[in-house]
Amino acid sequence: MWSRFDLGEIGEDFARIKALGLDVVRFFLSWEAFQPAPAAIDEEAFGRFESVLERAHACGLKTMPALFCGHMSGVNWLPAWALDRSSRTARFRTISAGRSSPYAAGDFYQGELLEAQRFFVRALGPRVREHPALYAWDLGNEFSNLRLPSSPRAARDWSAALSADLLAGSNVGVTGGIHGEDVTRENRIRPSSIAEPWAFATMHGYSVYSDFARDRTDPEVVPFLAELTASCARRRVLFSEFGNPTCAPGTRRLGAFACLDEDEMALYATTVLERLQARGALGAFWWCWADYAAALAGTPPFDEAPHELHFGIVRDDGSEKPVAQALAAFARKAPSVTAQPPPIVDETGYFAGLPESTRTAYEAYCRARESAKERP
């Protein structure tokens, strides 16, 4: 997006998003494109970012830019200077300067890499201070997939430093892209401490990625993760990624992952949104706007993750899937934010009991929801 920049195309997408009645667009700032060196910013990229904000505002949209990206769709995209030459890639491959790298991300939660991030946000924030198109800053997309912090305290201190700098420079609130694995695995992240300086907490979750899901269309996975995060963070939660890959009717898998056909997906979107709204979420973002072009199937990340081509609410030819109108219909109801329910877990006990505590908590959650439906 940032290297093959086409503001006209971006504006067309924004106009269509607004026409569906949707409010906020989340997009990623490629770390490599924006910060070519630890103490340098790319002025052309900054200018393009400002033009995207202006175009969003002209279309009547707010934005939630995600910084230091970073991880996306099974690949870690990183500037060469952010790599740790003593650490090899493991679960996720690294791509830097357009090529695969054997090296993993450095420890960006502290030290020189943290100072480089603070340099970046101190430059960025004042440039767009109180911009009317800024809804909130996102500290990164599933940043624990780049590298786990050395401790919950390291994650807390990273979040506190960058949040303070962004708020001081831009006067716009901050959140961070934590995801399901941050609360179902020991990723050395605690929602209560990492989210302490945030305006609200966020969470990403997918039924097809969750090993505790009852089936691939399970509509309780996302609201459970929302309430689990709210219970631990003691913050309201905006669910900033939910969705699933679509596939042809009769198909059940794309590569390693389950998928839903287009009609199943529309029903899934509606049932999940209704549950989130009823159970105190601030809102929800669908991942993502558009399918990728089939011509990209042989390029990273799609060469190893073909399901990532198909998460959009519009197809690669620009036509709408049924889920687009499902989202639009929900938006037309102008649903209000409801009261936050009581906590469903105690954070300390929950994390001490991982991984079994996730399945136990989810089973109890589903039983409670079924029991609530049975009451007169």
pLDDT at 2 over 70: yes
Q: What is the pLDDT of residues 223-257, one digit of tens each?
A: 999 999 999 999 999 999 999 999 999 888 988 89
The pLDDT assigned to 348 comes to 98
pLDDT at 375 over 80: no
Q: What is the pLDDT of residues 187-199, one digit of tens each?
A: 999 999 999 999 9
The residue type at 75: V
The whole-chain average pLDDT of the chain stands at 96
Q: How confident is the model at residue 40 (pLDDT cuts 50, 70, 90)?
A: very high
Question: What are the structure tokens assigned to 273, written together?
Answer: 């949104």
Contact 202, 238 (CB under 8 A): yes
Residue predicted with more confidence, 373 or 201? 201
Strand partners, 76: 71, 94
Q: What mean pLDDT comes out for the span 90-117?
A: 97
Q: Which residue has the tokens 């067309």?
A: 12
Q: What is the distance between the terminal CA atoms of the chain, rounded to a whole angstrom? A: 53
Q: Annotate 211-228 with b (16+ C-beta within 10 A) or e (fewer).
A: ebbeebbbbbbbbbbbbb
Contact 172, 134 (CB under 8 A): yes
Q: What mean pLDDT comes out for the span 203-215?
A: 97
Domain layout of the chain by residue ranges? 7-374
**d(Cα 118, Cα 141) in Å, to the nearest integer?**
17
Q: What mean pLDDT comes out for the span 16-27?
A: 98
Phi/psi-derived region of residue 171, left when phi > 0, alpha when psi is between -120 and 50, beta in every other case: left
pLDDT at 5 over 80: yes
Q: What is the pLDDT of residues 335-362, one digit of tens each?
A: 999 999 999 999 999 999 999 999 999 9
Contact 184, 159 (CB under 8 A): no
The count of C-alpha atoms lying within 13 angstroms of the C-alpha of 143, restricted to the half-sphere facing its C-beta, is: 25
Q: What are phi and psi of 182, to 5 degrees?
A: -70, -15
Q: What are phi and psi of 326, to 5 degrees?
A: -65, -45
The pLDDT assigned to 371 comes to 86
Contact 170, 125 (CB under 8 A): yes
Q: How confident is the model at residue 299 (pLDDT cuts 50, 70, 90)?
A: very high
Give CA separation, 132 vs 5, 10, 370, in Å: 22, 18, 43
Question: What are the structure tokens assigned to 356, written together?
Answer: 């079994």
The pLDDT assigned to 372 comes to 83
Domain 7-374, architecture per CATH: Alpha-Beta Barrel (3.20)
pLDDT at 287 over 80: yes
Q: What mean pLDDT comes out for the span 53-58?
A: 98
Strands 237-242 and 283-286: parallel
